[in-house]
A and B are shown apart, each in its own frame.
Chain A
């Protein structure tokens, strides 16, 4: 029988207890419903016609997707930045590490407990997204593609939260660093690209600047761009939507997803290394062997 990670099991039990989880889903769905209603009303106002236009559906779809991304970006780190620092603050981490459980199991258990809550929110929003099927224009596969992207983004942002949670003793510091890093990925990468191309006077840069593959907003825009069938658009030198990675024929969002997956794995391994109390073994031995025995 498959054994569930005990940390994940315990965290889920605690998180799902009481009205907190239900309340969170409720508030989340209210936000999403309001966004869908607002997008529908805004789109229809422009037309005043009795027939259904697929563009109305696309407007709502994009509005909902943007709102979902914003909420995930705020919720995922918030749920994970206290995961390890909270254990330290509560003085329960040593108890956990004195058991045969590996630091990586502790880290993954904590991450997936938080992410499962985000996944629950994403799945709960599925009926609201299905409004677009009334109007057409978006297929089920495309919707699942977008949801898969959201889940990977949630894992990445969650891993960033866990990483800082293991490196900082205080949850507040971990929070600041996690949101700072996410802001850097979302906006800093764009700023640095513009800065670099400006300094090197490379205004006529052709193609997609590699640094921007790390940007989740650009990955997200790319997936929506592909789904709604937008043409080639050059936003600024280095940032193109449409047939961007012409040389590789791979969409920007796929490369962004790969980057996110690799980043998450690296951050989780580093977090596990950080909380492992036995990390200094070889360095210590080397130091003493050089000094010689007493």
Chain B
């Protein structure tokens, strides 16, 4: 769906995006994580046709974004990190205005606006002036605006910034619905745990370069070169620990009262074999699974920060 090859953007001597390569397959939610000034917004603006690249290629659905802007903009929905609204327009008029820009006829526009307001849960505000909405509502309205032309790719630059926890949860729910609708989404955020829950893949960007990219599990494996598993048992903790210690792929065992955490340097199939072995040795396993990665640790590990 989205392919970026060798993207470069310079502001004078400062290189904001430095030969960036990225591939986001159709239907994925790709999280774009990075410290401030890493090049997230610049990359997103280039994808959305709001900024010129100095070099490189960007393809959305095989459309060359840098050469065929108009066609590309028809399949991209963009939501910036900071945006304003027209204070003299009502909510439905606001959506209708953007829909008319995409040459959607008046009859269809009405249905689209109603559907989108239902999606973002703003039906009861349809006749309210946009300026009277809360920040969270405006963010949701802006998301609805980016969907008026039913784009295939959504580029969302920090869509949950400045929202209270409830509004964040609501925004996440909407994004899940969009994921179910088959939209490809590229989303940037500073809230790393949120991205790990929501995104199918994540890319960590620093100084204009993708430092690491993949699913959360893949990233954890790349960084720590192993998985972390947690086994909960009814009893026989010592016996379980002994079995695990003898396993060639297990490292760093931490014993709890009725649980054991350990590093595991194997594949998912090998993990299944380990579970089978535990069960065959009559160890009363209550739960067995991979521990969720701590993305913030990964982020701190792979990014160097300004001082580096």
Binding site for B on A (CB under 8 A): 3, 6, 9-10, 13-14, 17, 89-92, 94-102, 277-281, 284-285, 287-288, 294
Contacts and interface: CB of A to CB of B under 8 A. Distances in A.
Contacts of A288: 8, 54-55
Interface residues of B, number: 36
Contacts, number: 86
Contacts of A6: 97, 100-101
B85 interface: yes
A103 B142 CA distance: 21
Contact of B102 (A17, A89, A92, A99): A99
B83 A279 contact: no
A284 B53 contact: yes
Contact of A94 (B19, B50, B86, B100): B50
Given A9-B100, A99-B73, A277-B49, 4 more contacts: A90-B84, A95-B98, A99-B101, A288-B55
A294 to B, nearest CB: 6
B52 interface: yes
Contacts of B30: none
B88 interface: yes
Contacts of B66: 281
Interface stretch (B74-82, B241-249, B265-273): B74-82
B54 A92 contact: no
30 contacts: A3-B103, A6-B97, A6-B101, A9-B97, A9-B100, A89-B84, A90-B84, A91-B80, A91-B82, A91-B83, A92-B85, A94-B45, A94-B78, A94-B80, A94-B83, A95-B78, A95-B98, A95-B142, A95-B145, A99-B98, A99-B101, A100-B71, A101-B101, A277-B50, A278-B52, A281-B52, A284-B52, A284-B53, A285-B55, A287-B54
B51 A284 contact: no
A91 B272 CA distance: 53
B237 interface: no
Nearest to B74: A100
B98 A97 contact: no
A287 B70 CA distance: 25
B222 interface: no
A272 B74 CA distance: 20
Q: Which of B78, B84, B100, B103 is most buried by chain A, counting CB atoms within 10 A of its CB?
A: B84
B22 interface: no
Contact of A14 (B49, B83, B86): B86
B69 interface: yes
A55 B107 CA distance: 58
Contacts of A17: 88
B93 interface: yes
Nearest to B76: A98
Contacts of A95: 78, 80, 83, 98, 142, 145
B89 interface: yes
Contacts of B97: 6, 9-10
Contact of A98 (B49, B53, B54, B55): B49
B48 interface: yes
A13 B8 CA distance: 42
A101 B148 CA distance: 14
B84 A92 contact: yes
B55 A97 contact: no
A97 B50 contact: yes
Contact of B51 (A96, A100, A101, A277): A277
Nearest to A7: B101
Contact of B55 (A10, A13, A284): A284
Given A17-B88, A92-B85, A100 B102 contact: yes
Interface string B137-162: 00000100100000000000000000
Contacts of B8: 288
Nearest to B148: A99
